[in-house]
Structure formats: C-alpha cells, structure tokens
Structure 1
Amino acid sequence: MDVPVETPARPRHRPLLIAAVCTVLAAIAAAVFFAGRYGTPSDVSPEAGFARDMAFHHAQAVEMAFAAHDVTEDETLRALTSDIILTQTAQRGIFMGWLQQWGLNQAGERPRMAWMSGHGHSAGRAKPAAPAGAPMPGMATGAEMERLRQAEGKAAEVLFLQLMIRHHEGGVQMADGLLRLSDREEVATMARHISAGQSGEIKLMTDLLRARGAKPYPTILD
C-alpha cells in the first residue's frame, strides 16, 4: 500500500518576505529612474539625511521586534513583530541602495537629524523628541533596551509595546519632516508609506496595551 507523502507546511511569513524583496527591487529600479529625472541628492541633502537616519532608526526597531518575538506566545504580537522585522529590514536595504545609487557614503559627517533642523526637531519643542540618552526621535536608550532583553511574559509584551509606540512616533515625525523638505518622488513615496503604516501600527499597539491594562508613554508627537 502506498504511504501518502505529507506536504511540508508552507512558511507562514513567506508572503511577507516575498513582498519585502519585491519592494526592495522596485525601489532600486525607481532610484535609477529618478536619479536621472531629478538629479543626484547631495551629501547634506534632506534625502541623504533621511535615508541614513531612518536606516539607523529602523535597525533598533528590528532589534526590539526580535526581542519581543522571542518571548511572546501571543499570535497577534508575533505577527506584528514579524512584520516589523521583515518590513523595516527591507526598507533599510532600500535606504542603503539609494545612498549607493547617489554615490554617497552610508554614514555622513553631519550630526544625526541635522537635516531636520528647524522642521520638527529642535531644542524649543514643547515635547521632547527623544528621551535623555537616546540619539534620535523615539529611540530607546541603552538602559531601556537592556530592560527589554531581560523582560519576560506580560511585562516584556507591555514594555515592547510602550517602547515601539514611541519608536514609531519618532519614525512618523521623521517621515513627515522629510515630506516638508523634499518632493523627490521615490523618497517622498517611502516617507508617506512609513508615516501611514506606522501610524496604523501605533493604533494597533495602543489597543494591545489597553488589553493588557497598560497605557503608552506620553506621546512625542504634536
């Protein structure tokens, strides 16, 4: 009697990974097209600063998402952290691809966020853009990251959600700042995507916090 062969289960996140790869390829193609159409951004341009700083910002978000994904058993939270890992890793690849296409170094000489000076990132803001010890808007401090790595169970879920909401608020702040400074099509399109996507995830994470009897940190957005 023939023994039926069991078909291997399809990886649950493969569609997200395929979509992320396709997004990277499409963005590289767009960079080639728009480089000829609009010219090449300079080393001190808002576009170059946005690409460098958002890539740095995304790197911490991916680290935070891995930390939470490893300790939670909640399916909604696992799906969210997987999406953050895949999406923001793909977007970092896009940013690095832009810089390479523009003939620019991945690390600039200007201070972080200098490109946003006078556009939502200044010392005179009523609400701090970043907690003391954090290098950029919404980013966690070294001490906060260590707390997240050590946390377990519900406490880890709550801390991750609080930190990631604030982190996403920083991302929205940066994306909206780019849109006030640049109309370069591929960069503005990415900024609009980040602003809309992370705003939606902020709402989801706020609901997840509420379900756990907790609240977000005070917002850094206006």
Structure 2
Amino acid sequence: MTRTHWTAVTAVVAALVFAGAATVASAGGGGGQPGNPASDSADAGFARDMSVHHQQAVEMSFIVRDRTRNEEIRRLAYDIINTQANQRGMMLGWLDQWGLSPVAADREPMAWMAGSGAHDGHTASTGDARMPGMATPAQLEKLGELNGEAAEIEYLRLMTAHHKGGVDMAEACVDLCSPGAQRQLADGMVTGQQSELELMADLLKERGTAPRP
C-alpha cells in the first residue's frame, strides 16, 4: 500500500477507537447534559462544518474516479472517499450523541474558529469566505466535464485547495475543541491531509504543473 493509504487507514482506525470511547462516555446523554458540548461550541461547529467540507471532498473524488483511468489518481480518490466518509459519519454520530442538530441555522459557518489566533478571519482560496477551500459549483461542473489528464490536474488543484482549508479547520479544532475524541480525530486529519498534500504536489509536478497560487 502507498504511504497515503497507510496514513488514511491509521487515521480511520484511531478515530474509530476514540469514537468508541466517546460513545461509552456519553451513553444516555443528550443536548444540555453535563459534559456534552453546547450548540455554539467549537466542538459542535467543527463537527458540523467539517462534515460539510468532507462531503464535498467525497463528491469530487467520485467525479474524478469516473473521469480517468490513471490508477494512482483513482487510488488517491478511493482513499479520500473511504477516509473522509468514515470521519464524516463519526462527526455526525457525535452530534447525534450530544443531542445537537447537524445544522445550526442561527450560526454562520466557521464562526467557531474566531478564537483560534492565526485561523481567525480565514478566507478561502476560492473566494468563499464562509468555508475554507471549498470548490464553487462552477468548478465542480467543470471537473465533471473533463477527462483524462485534464481531469486529473483539475482534481488535484481543487483538492489541494480543499485540503489546505481542511488542515486550517482541523488545526483550529486542535486549538479550541475540548480534550478527547474529536480533538484526536482533528489531529489525525492534519497529519493525513498534509501527507496527501505532499503526494498531490508530486502528482502535479509529474504532469508538468503545480497547484494554483
């Protein structure tokens, strides 16, 4: 298996262990129970926003999987689908355990990051200041229209921006979230996505190009 695959597998296994511990600790608990995060906490905000962020990464990876025959790109896409779908399930499960809605209509995305120093006021490279690194609908549509190497390059560039935003979010959770399973998961996300960023930079270089500035 590739370095990226081993990293992804390790992160998922570790997160499952921590998720199990969290389930035992919070059994019978709901929103408002002592020890459970509040709806406006960094823990809840991270779980909600990263779930949305992960969903788009999975979507982009499914798109490129069907637009290229390159096994290395398809393997990377599979790793991202598998890892981030599992992590998304964990975060939505925690919100359910905490008795919290997966959507907070009264709070802006990323509002929970406000106390995270360097992450305060982060603006996405795509121009969407509300969700760092997210691809726009037009970019997703373009990706779905490309084939072969053109699709690979567009996917790698979009996913590079997406991962950089994801790393910022995960680092903010490491700073702000309560000690425990979710902070451990966020720390694993930083390690795993940074490894994938290195791999994607190499894959772009092999194709004679680089990430967008």
> What TM-score bracket applies, with the shorter chain setting the length?
0.7 to 0.9
Supply the AA of the counterpart residue of 1:102.
Answer: W
Q: Which residue of 2 aligns with 1:80?
A: 76
Matched, 1:32 2:23: yes
- Greater Cα shift, 179-188 or 166-175: 179-188
Q: How has the CA–CA distance of structure 1 residues 140 and 66 changed in structure 2, closer, same or farther, with 3 Å as cutoff?
A: same
**Which structure 1 residue ranges, 5 or more long, are not aligned?**
1-14
Radius of gyration: which is bigger? Answer: 1
Q: Percent sequence identity over matched residues?
A: 45
Equivalent of residue 198 in structure 1, options 193, 204, 209: 193
- Greater Cα shift, 106-115 or 22-31: 22-31
Query: 8 Å contact 1:31–1:101 — kept in the other structure?
Result: no
Q: Secondary structure at the match of 1:200?
A: helix
How far apart, in 1, do the equivalents of 2:134 and 2:150 lie?
19
Q: How has the CA–CA distance of structure 1 residues 197 and 59 changed in structure 2, closer, same or farther, with 3 Å as cutoff?
A: same
How big is the shift at 1:132?
2.1
How far apart, in 1, do the equivalents of 2:210 and 2:173 lie?
29
1:71-121 Cα distance to aligned partner (Å, 9 max, x none): 111111111100100110011100011001111111113110000014244
How far apart, in 1, do the equivalents of 2:61 and 2:183 lie?
26
Q: For this pair of structures, how many residues does the alignment match?
A: 200
**Which structure 2 residue ranges, 5 or more long, are not aligned?**
1-5, 28-33
Equivalent of residue 42 in structure 1, options 29, 34, 38: 38
Q: How has the CA–CA distance of structure 1 residues 151 and 135 changed in structure 2, closer, same or farther, with 3 Å as cutoff?
A: farther
Matched, 1:62 2:58: yes
Higher relative contact order structure (alpha carbons within 8 Å, sequence separation ≥ 6): 2
How big is the shift at 1:122?
4.2
Matches within 5 A, 1:94-173: 94-108=90-104, 109-119=106-116, 120-123=118-121, 128-133=123-128, 135-173=130-168
Q: Which residue of 1 aligns with 2:31?
A: none
1:27-55 Cα distance to aligned partner (Å, 9 max, x none): 4422224438x810000000000000000
Supply the AA of the counterpart residue of 1:143.
Answer: A
Q: How has the CA–CA distance of structure 1 residues 97 and 137 changed in structure 2, closer, same or farther, with 3 Å as cutoff?
A: same
Two-structure CA RMSD over aligned residues (Å): 2.6
Tell me which protein shows more helix as a share of its residues: 2
TM-score, normalised to structure 1's length? 0.82
How far apart, in 1, do the equivalents of 2:197 and 2:160 lie?
5
Supply the AA of the counterpart residue of 1:92.
Answer: R
Query: 8 Å contact 1:134–1:141 — kept in the other structure?
Result: no
Supply the AA of the counterpart residue of 2:143.
Answer: L
How far apart, in 2, do the equivalents of 1:173 and 1:143 lie?
24
How far apart, in 2, do the equivalents of 1:118 and 1:97 lie?
25
How far apart, in 2, do the equivalents of 1:25 and 1:203 lie?
25
